[in-house]
Amino acid sequence: MTLPMHRTYQETRLSKPEILVVAKLWPRYMEALQGAFVVHDRTHLNDAAQFASIAPRIRGIAASGESKVDAALLAQLPALEMISVFGVGYDGVDVAAARARGVPVTNTPDVLTEEVADLGIALMLSIARRIPQADKFVREGRWPQGPFPLSRKVSGARLGIVGLGRIGQAIADRAQAFGMSIAYTTRTRRDDVSYAYHANAEALARAVDFLMVITPGGAGTRGLINAQVLAALGAKGYLINVARGSVVDQPALVHAITTGVIAGAALDVFAEEPHVPAELREHDNVVLTPHMASGTWETRGAMADLAFANLQAHFAGKPLLTPVP
């Protein structure tokens, strides 16, 4: 009778696919990854010698929406089979280089649509009605000295949406409940909506009171909201950005805020996160949040589940759930 062979811990460990985590990930997601894979957490950043030894065995990458996964990193991973992004945006991933290698990239769309749309509307209300400023006014004991200044009405105003994808549509749906008129710009005009279409962001900005930016990041949209767009938005217009910091020309925005080119801005994303220019932090006509649009327990859990499911599907030989187009 042949006794069953007992695998050593090292043999069991190495029987699991090895993956490289390239960013700090949500703890619950990391726990799931560590249970299913051999996880190397940011080894490429922290230990060059160790990374050189494990790189030939890395079969998957677990990334966040802000992760940098460029061609240089991909070139060091000859066994790489897939990249799973925890987030809807993937502009830090060199998708073209991955495709050239036959390496699919997945993301987590849909599960964060509602939360991002909610925050977009919340930011618009916050900057127009000056809710954070009013809170500060009360907390500082200034109310007994006189009333808080009047603010801008949102209901019935004109909203322009830069990027009418899933999230842009969810924002439009919410805005319609406020009786707002909706206009938009996208690369391709949509035939399934009745909103006014404008061929570019500058034309759209000229026609609206609030300009909501929710277009993907990347080289194609870098600096899309520039000085000309902000000038078109005008001294009574407000900018809201829940897309990517790279989409807005940040120096131009700082100039527009500090010189009164626009009335104000509400921003969840920035060019060099987590660093925010002092000029934006110091101005009273700006509302700032720390890239938290998808930051609810429910959504982060759904994002983790989907990112993990994509990795599991690949290594089980099943179709990927949400490959990027």
Active centre residues (catalytic):
244, 273, 291
Q: Residue 19 corresponds to which tokens in the numbers above? A: 């993956």
Q: Distance between CA atoms of 196 and 142, rounded to whole angstroms? A: 43
Q: Residue 13 corresponds to which tokens in the numbers above? A: 């460990």
Contacts of 154 (CB under 8 A, 6+ apart): 124, 125, 128, 129, 178, 180, 210
**DSSP assignments along 131-177, one per residue:** HHHHHHHHHTT-GGGSPPPP----TT-EEEEE--SHHHHHHHHHHHH
Q: Distance between CA atoms of 44 and 30, rounded to whole angstroms? A: 17
Q: Distance between CA atoms of 275 and 246, rounded to whole angstroms? A: 13
Distances (CA, A) of 214 to 11, 32, 37, 244: 47, 30, 34, 8
Name residue 211's beta-bridge partners.
Answer: 160, 239
E-assigned strand segments in 209-273: 210-213, 238-241, 264-267
Read off the amino acid at residue 109.
P
DSSP H or E run through 121 = helix 113-129
